[in-house]
């Protein structure tokens, strides 16, 4: 059930390469930045409806998409262009995409499957049982690799990594508004438990969980 670069098999999406090419992001919208800022609100309850792969791709692009190919610069600023973040998609309810943990490959705007299965409940358990994580069709997890930034800036790099998490998250929130979706920042969780639940490499520290889902009509 996974859409793959390696081709389609009789209409079914192939799982062979564990790579999922994402649709090209849209670069326009009918909603202004000002309206998105006005409308953004933390939402913790969502409809039990799937997101599309286009919506997922758009949210990931907003998080860390490449916007200047020659230098690899992205949608969010980064101290000294050290880019300390890896971005994970915890997919639960996405049309045409198997539930699983995927890493966003920003260089190629595609997903790399890391583990199959629905990890939302496990992730929620690692975050005081917060229901927004299980309700959300997806969760985006920002994992920081401090060394990328501290090797250039020393201890001050720690501050820069945390600031950068905010930039990335706000991009996701505003993009969610533009797509008519709801989201919430989740900072209350046990780092070790999240790292274990998602089987993250030791040097990748989870700093933010961003559930996203379809919202109930206002
Ligand atoms: C760093 C940070 C951590 C947060 N952690 C959580 C959280 O764990 N769970 C939650 O439901 N909301 C969390 N929030 C959301 C805040 O509760 C929310 O932003 C605040 O109530 C203001 O509402 P607004 O986002 O709608 O403007 C967090 C917000 C920030 C900035």
Average pLDDT of span 160-165? 99
Q: Ligand 1, atom 20: nearest CA belongs to which residue?
A: 42
Q: What is the pTM of this model?
A: 0.94
Distance CA(207)–CA(101), nearest Å, equals 17
DSSP 8-state code for residue 6 = T
Which of 185, 188, 211 has the most ligand 1 atoms within 8 A of CB, as the residue to mutate?
Answer: 185
Residue 7: inside a domain, yes or no?
Answer: no
Asked whether 186 lines ligand 1 (CB < 6 A), one says yes
Domain for residue 182, yes or no? yes
Q: Is residue 147 included in any domain, yes or no?
A: yes
Q: Which domain holds residue 140?
A: 24-214
* Assigned domain for 98 exists: yes
- Arithmetic mean of pLDDT, 70-82: 98
162 CA distance to ligand 1 centroid (A)? 15
Task: State the total domains in the chain.
Answer: 1
In a domain, 96, yes or no: yes
24 CB burial (10 A radius; 0-12, 13-18, 19+): exposed
Q: Which residues pair with 68 in a beta bridge?
A: 73
For residue 176, is pLDDT > 90? Answer: yes
What's the mean pLDDT when you consider all of the chain?
93
Mean pLDDT score, 98-117: 98
Task: Give the per-residue pLDDT at 17.
Answer: 73
Report, as an integer, the average pLDDT of 179-193: 98
> How confident is the model over 142-155, as pLDDT tens digits?
999 999 999 999 99
Q: Mind listing the pLDDT tens digit for each residue in 2-24?
A: 444 333 333 334 444 799 999 99
pLDDT at 110 over 50: yes
In a domain, 202, yes or no: yes
Mean pLDDT value across residues 120-136: 98
Q: What is the CATH number of the domain that holds 159?
A: 3.40.109.10
Domain-located, residue 17: no
Q: What is the CA radius of gyration of the chain?
A: 17
Res 218: pLDDT: 65
11 in a structural domain: no
């Amino acid at each position: 059930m996974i859409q793959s670069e390696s081709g389609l098999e009789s209409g079914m999406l192939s799982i062979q390469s564990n790579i999922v090419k994402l649709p090209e992001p849209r670069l326009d919208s009918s909603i202004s930045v000002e309206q998105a800022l006005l409308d953004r609100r933390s939402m913790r309850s969502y409809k039990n409806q799937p997101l599309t792969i286009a919506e997922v791709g758009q949210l990931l692009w907003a998080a860390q998409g490449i916007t200047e190919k020659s230098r690899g610069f992205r949608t969010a600023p980064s101290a000294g262009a050290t880019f300390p973040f890896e971005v994970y998609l915890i997919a639960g309810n996405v049309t045409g995409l198997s539930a699983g943990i995927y890493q966003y490959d920003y260089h190629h705007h595609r997903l790399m499957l890391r583990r199959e299965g629905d990890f939302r409940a496990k992730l929620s358990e690692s975050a005081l049982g917060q229901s927004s994580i299980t309700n959300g069709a997806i969760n985006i997890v920002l994992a920081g690799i401090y060394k990328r930034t501290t090797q250039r800036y020393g201890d001050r790099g720690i501050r820069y990594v945390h600031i950068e998490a905010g930039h990335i998250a706000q991009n996701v929130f505003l993009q969610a508004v533009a797509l008519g979706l709801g989201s919430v920042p989740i900072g209350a969780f046990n780092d070790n438990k999240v790292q274990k639940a998602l089987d993250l490499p030791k040097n990748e520290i989870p700093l933010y969980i961003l559930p996203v889902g379809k919202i109930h009509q206002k």
